[in-house]
Structure 1
Amino acid sequence: MKQLCAIVLAAGLSSRMGENKLLMDYKGRPMSEYILQNLKHNSMWLNEVLVVGRLQQTKELAERYGFNYVHNSQPERGMGHSLALGVQAAAQCDGFLLALSDMPDLKTGTIHTLCQSFNQDPLRITVPVYGGRRGNPVLFPASYREQLSALDGDKGGRDLIRREQQNLARVQIYDAGILRDIDTKSDFYAK
């Protein structure tokens, strides 16, 4: 079984929400707790989980789940910077599972399916697809470590995925949660 490192992006400024969305109560829990619980349920696939955040509450939540915390002191630099910090802090592994912390509707089995697929084809970028649309989380092989470590700005791995179309393993997922991230009040109340 391949050694995978999960990197949870939890340092966003929530500017479109108007308050810190990751700490907002979503069906009885802070929104960001759902991805942590999901990863905990999939721990058989993961040798390390790193939560990249900016707030003490995020650090405490990560530690409650037994995950490592990476502090982002410059969250205004965007998602790419957070992702780079996580990859730079990660131990040696065969691949990186990049997870967003504002996707509370993601099914637990989805991460299992993606990890299983990556294990069968560990040299390609594993992306989930639902209804013909690509979503998250995404698994990058370790061969992309240097490129991921150099990211900055707010695009994350999106441009890298666009450039590497010929190296994508598209996995059909029956989970609309891969497409739904929560950025605004209307997204939040559409639950």
Structure 2
Amino acid sequence: MIGDPTVAGVLLAAGDSDRFGERDKLLATLDGGPLVRHAARTLADAEVGPVAAVVDPGSTGVRDALAGLDVAVVGNPDAAAGQAASVRHGVAWARDRADAVVFALGDMPRVDPETVDRLVAAYRDGRGSALAAGYEGERGNPVLFDGRHFDALAAVEGDTGGRAVFERADDAAVVETGDPGVRLDVDRPGDLDGLRE
């Protein structure tokens, strides 16, 4: 391959927020903006491109929250089927645009863009074809997959996303980032308290 491989960014933002209560957790406010916008900015500000967000077509609020960012919006009409459906739609979008894809989660607003850059640098340095961001030895998100895993990712089912694909990769690795945000997600309203600056 001539030159650096292209790495796309895909934000998984079509979740159903079951544990959060009545409102869509991705639209909960943190530091003056919705969670999903913070998460999308992580990819938009990182050295990846192109970037897309996979959203539930019925959630106009999430689409509106992403307005003005250099992020394509990909509808996932199967959002209720679990995270794997969003992974499949993200892979379908990325397949003809990139050699690898970084998957980030819409409910993880504290990931630093430099963390994504570290994953991409590790991939380009040949550290593995499946790389997860880590903090203090614990695996977190986002996760990068080389194109060799696209077919397996396109076949995932259920609510576990690409975890099984990562675990089956013979050269999977955790990249230490020094970023606690890779382990901080929002499941319940109380989780926001620990994220406020």
- Same fold at TM > 0.5: yes
Match of 2:102 in 1: 97
Matches within 5 A, 1:47-86: 47-54=49-56, 55-86=59-90
Following superposition, the deviation at residue 26 of structure 1 comes to 0.8
In structure 1, stretches of 5+ residues that fail to align are none
| Residue-by-residue CA offset, 1:82-121 (whole Å, 9 max, x unaligned) | 1101111223321010010111111221111111111111
Residue pair 1:84, 1:150 contacting (<8 A) in 2 also: yes
Q: Given the alignment of the two structures, is residue 128 of structure 1 paired with residue 130 of structure 2, yes or no? A: no
Residue pair 2:34, 2:65 contacting (<8 A) in 1 also: no
Residue pair 1:126, 1:168 contacting (<8 A) in 2 also: yes
Of the three residues 5, 22, 25, the one matched with 2:8 is 5
Of the three residues 87, 111, 115, the one matched with 1:110 is 115
User: What is the rounded CA distance, in whole Å, between the counterparts of 1:58 and 1:127 in structure 2?
Assistant: 26
Q: Could you tell me the percent identity over the aligned residues?
A: 29
Q: In structure 2, do the counterparts of structure 1 residues 41 and 25 end up closer, same or farther at CA, with 3 Å as the change threshold?
A: same
Look up the equivalent residue of 1:106 and give its one-letter code: V
Look up the equivalent residue of 2:117 and give its one-letter code: H
Q: In structure 2, do the counterparts of structure 1 residues 95 and 79 end up closer, same or farther at CA, with 3 Å as the change threshold?
A: same
User: What is the rounded CA distance, in whole Å, between the counterparts of 1:132 and 1:123 in structure 2?
Assistant: 17
Q: TM-score, normalised by structure 1?
A: 0.92
Residue pair 1:95, 1:122 contacting (<8 A) in 2 also: no
SS at match of 1:145: helix
SS at match of 1:167: coil
User: What is the rounded CA distance, in whole Å, between the counterparts of 2:97 and 2:148 in structure 1?
Assistant: 11
Following superposition, the deviation at residue 80 of structure 1 comes to 0.6
Residue pair 1:63, 1:69 contacting (<8 A) in 2 also: no
User: What is the rounded CA distance, in whole Å, between the counterparts of 2:163 and 2:111 in structure 1?
Assistant: 19
Matches within 5 A, 1:20-31: 20-31=24-35
Residue pair 1:94, 1:122 contacting (<8 A) in 2 also: no
Following superposition, the deviation at residue 58 of structure 1 comes to 2.1
Q: TM-score, normalised by structure 2?
A: 0.89
User: What is the rounded CA distance, in whole Å, between the counterparts of 1:115 and 1:48 in structure 2?
Assistant: 13
In structure 2, stretches of 5+ residues that fail to align are none
